[in-house]
Amino acid sequence: MRKVSIVFSLFLIAKADFSIAQSGAQPHVIVYKTKASNRLLVPVQLSDDKKTVVSYPDPADIKAGGAAALPALLHKGYFLDKRGVNKNTAFIRMSYTQYGKLKAAPSPEALYKMIADKSPVTEVCDCGIKQAGKLSVKELNSWIDKKVLSKKCKPI
């Protein structure tokens, strides 16, 4: 009986760890605002000290996504993210169209030299886990218009 209890306990622990890992991996609805409209420019992720590029898309991913890769326009200069924008995002001086035509991604050092502003993002809000049909652009725009976005979503 004791062996069964131990095995069952191990199963519950493993299942709990798996559930936590799964919930953390789900995409979130991210709304952001920048100093200038960078909607057509490719985002890259910088290190916390903003001295190196730590993440960037593959041109094939940009080409495959086409216009669907662009952030959605929201009211009052806000955007609905589709590429992983956060407080360490910068935009290179290259459009999605130009970047998608590249055979290979430039080196992180070359991408870093293409950045116009290392801190273009002025506001980022996490509006929770994406669930089909649960949070519409119309609802996000309503929150923006009513100035409650930062109350409905978690500023990050």
Alpha helices in the chain (DSSP H): 2-24, 59-65, 96-100, 108-113, 137-145, 149-152
Domain count, the chain: 1
Q: Is residue 40 part of a domain?
A: yes
Q: Is residue 15 part of a domain?
A: no
| Residue 44 in domain | yes
Q: Which residue bears the tokens 């490719």? A: 42
pLDDT > 90 fraction of the chain, expressed in percent and rounded: 62
- For the stretch 80-117, pLDDT in tens is 998 889 999 999 999 999 999 999 999 999 999 999 89
Range of the domain at 148: 27-155
* Domain-embedded: residue 148: yes
The predicted-structure confidence for 15-24, as pLDDT tens digits, reads as follows 444 333 444 5
Q: What is the DSSP string of 80-127?
A: E-SS---TTEEEEEEEHHHHHT-SSPPPHHHHHHTBS-S--EEEEEEE
In a domain, 45, yes or no: yes
Q: Is residue 19 part of a domain?
A: no
H/E segment holding residue 55: strand 53-55
Residue 112 in tokens: 């870093």
Is position 121 within any domain? yes
pTM of the predicted protein model: 0.76
Does a structural domain hold residue 4?
no
Identify whether the C-beta of residue 124 lies closer than 8 Å to the C-beta of residue 86: yes
